[in-house]
Structure 1
Amino acid sequence: MENATLWSRRESAIPRGLGMMHQVFAARAENAEIWDVEGRRFLDFAAGIAVTNTGHNHPAVKAAVLAQLDNFSHVCAQVTPYESYVRLAERLNAAAPGTTPKKTIFLTTGAEAVENAIKIARAATGRPGIIAFGGGFHGRTMMGMALTGKVAPYKTGFGPFPGDIHHVPFPAPYLGISEAESLLALERLFKVDIDASRVAAMIIEPVQGEGGFYAASPAFMRALRDICDQNGMLLIVDEIQSGFARTGAMFATDHAGIEPDLMTVAKAMAGGFPISGVIGKADIMDAANPGGLGGTYGGSPLGCAAGLAVLDTIEAEGLCERANEIGDRIVRRCEAIRQADKGLGDVRTVGAMSAVEFVIDGDATRPDPARTARIVGEARRNGLLLLSCGVRGNVVRFLPPLTIPFGQLEEGLAIFEAATKSA
């Protein structure tokens, strides 16, 4: 079987709206390595878009899922509940930032978690308005697209979108957007577009994912917490890409020392099995009436079993600390590359949520998406899978599994460095 043949079949059978980064068809994977259908080995610096933080086929996750399969794969938690759902909720309630009692509901996808967080916020406050941030990504459902702060490719041709959604700039100093400017935009929003008393919640990624791995500082997150408290709004933190040890803490919000009212989680929480959730303050989570929340596959038994194994693995293998070491190694290597490459304009990381930004002649106002695409392609040809992102399409993000052997990490970074030189 060949990749080219499969790609031809893909183009005949699958709509073009489902973008695919690499024309490489996976056959098997283990930890930080993927082998394609032609037997070629690739180092995986994508981790299924920050899903396999614990690596592909982690033995503990695999064993937990196989054990659950011996019992049952699905009964629907809304029909006959099961203990693992309750136990995973208890553990996430305890792990979530802050001391206020928490409750958790499980769903299937990140977008579904976002949708339900908005529903809960509106039910709890009786208000309609939602504030999101430019460059943010919150999913491809109608509400997810409305919240997402990037038009192409996510919104093009799909409107109209749900109303009472408002955007303000996300602070990104490299792009010339200061925290003060972002906060001033909030003030203007309340004066021009929507009174603060009509806003149910703000939703923010503490580290933007698709937007380019720009991080909100602890001071900015605390400022948002204060604004929400002063105006009776809820603060929703979207931890879908940044959660579960990726940033060197269980959740990126932990770095800010604040307590969100609601938090969305997905991706890495089950090591590759579909599950998502909303974790929130108990009284807020109870705002929806019975039957107002749910979903047929929400909190699947396999996802709950895998999620419990992931939490065990993060603790047992010290993956928060390991994320920081991985991020340090990536930054050191990329900073060394930048000394000789004016086109590598910025290097940034929070834990192992790392990115580099390519520009023309060191000018931050002149993004270089064409070179970025060439680098990703050249790296793939030499056995390294990377992802690009960013509001300007000029960011390469590094998301290796947190369990990657350091030798393989350095091997991948060497391939990346060679790709920057040849591209």
Structure 2
Amino acid sequence: MDLKHQLGYPKEHIRWAVLSFFLAQGLCFSSWASRIPDIKEHFEVDYAFYWGLVLFMIPVGKFVAIPLAGYLVSKLGSRIMVQVSIMGYALSLFAIGAAEHIYALGVFLFSFGVFWNLCDISLNTQGIGIERLYGRTIMASFHGGWSLAACLGALIGFIMIVSDVSPFYHFSFIAIIILLTTFISRKYLQEDVIIETPQQEKTFQKETQSFNWRKPERLLLQLGLMGLFALIVESAMFDWSGIYFESVLQVPKALQIGFLVFMVMMTVGRFLTNYAYRLLGKKKVIQVAGSFIFAGFFISAWLGEIFDTMALKVIVNSLGFMLVGLGISCMVPTIYSIVGMKAKTPVGIALTILSSISFVGSLIAPLLIGAITQAFNIKYAYMLVGLLGLGIVLMATFNSAFKMKE
């Protein structure tokens, strides 16, 4: 029997279907992020720390979903969970646009975070299945697709802002697209296949138990801290870049392009990462990435307001945001790659430890940036986040754990 009859559909159709869900997830995320300033304005939230608390509901939802995702994917399978989570993600976006009270917004943002993580876990599980089907690494193409869709979502968001379309109609339009995608592509999703033999499962359980009582190896702690820094940087850009252009630069809506240029350069950087590995090696890539993050934030924070001309303000700050986008684009893929190369801990356990440490950054960022913005100014919060880029450079330069053969 040929592969097509075993699977029910050609493997190319299956791959494109899974990619369409990655595209839908990226579009959903960036649609929300592009309208954060408008939603903040709609609810008339002037107290920055209070707004940080509202945004904090997303990482709380993602945190709650961590054990829930593992349980549901293992019980129901990723095929069902991809459909449930992407529809929940889209409907949560619609609900955010429809919210009329700040407390309802908090609930919907929590739901958005829950379905975000459920979608991450179930979609990547499908992606792993596609890699097994093809017999080669193709996960990068899925994540590249996510980035392209996020770019498109940022562009659509910018057009909606300039056209004075409310978040409700914007999010309704995006939710309909995602639901249609789910309806069209769902039939191509595959059931999870457990390929482990009883002996392989026994070996894995033995390895897991042997590492339960040990403290995490030094490499994982260091990479986890680096990942924590990276997630704070991402949160600073995803959640606050639009507000930065609005409140610090005070530019008209037609010139609030900070989030858009950041997403474009983040996407470009992801597609250039493999070339950068070959040219510089992973250690130098981390050093350059941290330098870009440091330089980008300080260009915006120090030089962003010194020009009187609005056009120069926009150009200088866009340059800073572009550098941050390039810098952050390769951080998580590179960290994960180094874990695969150097960690002595079994990969599944190592990634769990790494993700758990890194995720603290998502929890810290909204409250940290909100508190500094309220006490001083968001540009000082951006300076502090920029120092994390310098910390990444120092960690990669002076720590023996990052010495590796390229």
TM-score with structure 1 setting the length: 0.24
| Larger fraction in helix | 2
| Larger fraction in strand | 1
TM-score with structure 2 setting the length: 0.25
